[in-house]
Amino acid sequence: MLKQAISILWPSFLIAGMADVLFFTLFDPLQFLYQEEAVFDSRLAAYTVGFFLFWLMSIGSSALTCYFQRSADDINHCPLIPADRPDACPKKEGCTDCQ
């Protein structure tokens, strides 16, 4: 579980850093206006908020990639032993090809 979390968080952290640098190289955060008022009082606040927003988007992308890489066996594997499965379960005791 920790390995999977690291494989999601670390690359997304690096991508968020690069995205933050590229985005704020093109746009001045003090010029972001909402109803004729600046959104951020300081550039540092804008850089921080931007970094965390880019990081959240990157985390979502990496997490979805890990989710869709699972095999059918990982998705359909029943965590219960055959004796503990419900009566209506097709993989109840007596099934020769199920695990």
Helix, strand, coil distribution of the chain in percent, nearest 5: 65, 5, 35
**Partners of residue 33 on adjacent β-strands:** 38
Residues whose CB is less than 8 angstroms from the CB of residue 15 and which lie 6 or more positions away in sequence, other chains included: 54, 58
pTM (whole model) above 0.75: no
Inside any domain, residue 30: yes
Residue 14 belongs to domain spanning? 2-68
Per-residue pLDDT 10s for the chain (99 aa) are 788 889 899 999 999 999 999 999 999 888 888 888 888 889 899 999 999 999 999 999 999 998 888 888 777 777 777 777 777 777 666 555 555
Inside any domain, residue 36: yes
Q: Give the total number of structural domains in the chain.
A: 1
Residues whose CB is less than 8 angstroms from the CB of residue 83 and which lie 6 or more positions away in sequence, other chains included: 93
Inside any domain, residue 82: no
Inside any domain, residue 96: no
Inside any domain, residue 28: yes
Give the pLDDT confidence score for residue 76 in this predicted structure. 75
Inside any domain, residue 74: no
